[in-house]
Amino acid sequence: MCADELNQRLLNLYAQAMPLLRETIQSHADSEQLLHMHGPFMMYVHPAYAEARIKLMVVGMETYGWEPFRLDEDHNITYQRTTQVYQAFTSDSTNYSSPFWWFIRDLCHNYGEIDYMKAVLWTNLSKIDIARKRPSGAVYDNTMPGFLSLLAQEVAIVKPDILLIATTSPNYQWHLQKRFKSTEGSSEREVLIPKLLFRWITDELPANTFQLCHPNRLRFVAGGYKRNAEQIIRTIEQQAR
């Protein structure tokens, strides 16, 4: 499926899902939270992703500032406004330098993707942030089920070969476990490298769904960033099928 078709399907998904999510936010966020809220984060597919040999989708924690969240705005305007920011960000030639970007760059280069900003699809577990931080309180607890449901639907549309959840934060882990790990079903979270890398096995996510600790944390684990990052990338390559 080409990039235009994927973007149209995403637009339709967001148009269907956002009214309820906005209602949930309005019901549970206080005025101070709404004043400093950014989002919602909506993806835009570049042709480089549609044409990639290995399609990679990266899921972070939350936005770190984005477009201001507006409750009373027409959905199509919100979509255009936020995806324009997405396109500008992924088209930026800035060479970001941090453990997170080092890791994603090296993983993509191993799969032959040089223009990784466009070849990768980016999203977050929480589609909003408050003052560039993780939402908290009632708005966080009540939006996360909807955001994770939306994530599963995004994945079903764009069909990544590898889905990478780049955090093991306990706050998000609780919601991930509740949404994707059934104690009665066949879903499980397999340990690949203790405390560093896991594999999700669930019908709602791709077969190659990996979860790792935030790459910044690798600097503080025995062996340091380089050794741990290389081990994780090597394991992903060996496990991906």
- Identify the CATH number of the domain in which residue 228 sits: 3.40.470
- Other residues' Cβ atoms within 10 Å of the Cβ of residue 43: 22
The pTM of the full predicted model, rounded to 2 decimals, is 0.93
Percentage of the chain exceeding pLDDT 90:
83
According to the model, what pLDDT value does residue 183 have? 46
The pLDDT assigned to 1 comes to 83
The candidate with the shortest Cα–Cα distance to 122, out of 109, 110, 136, 108, is: 108
Least confident piece of the model among 6-15, 107-116, 171-180: 107-116
Would the pLDDT of 155 be above 80? yes
Residue-number span of the structural domain to which 196 is assigned: 3-239
| Per-residue pLDDT at 114 | 77
Q: How much is the pLDDT for 182?
A: 52
Q: What is the pLDDT of residues 44-83, one digit of tens each?
A: 999 999 999 999 999 999 999 999 999 989 999 999 999 9
176-218 pLDDT tens trace: 999 987 544 567 889 999 999 999 999 889 999 999 999 999 9
For the chain, the domain total comes to: 1
pLDDT at 152 over 70: yes
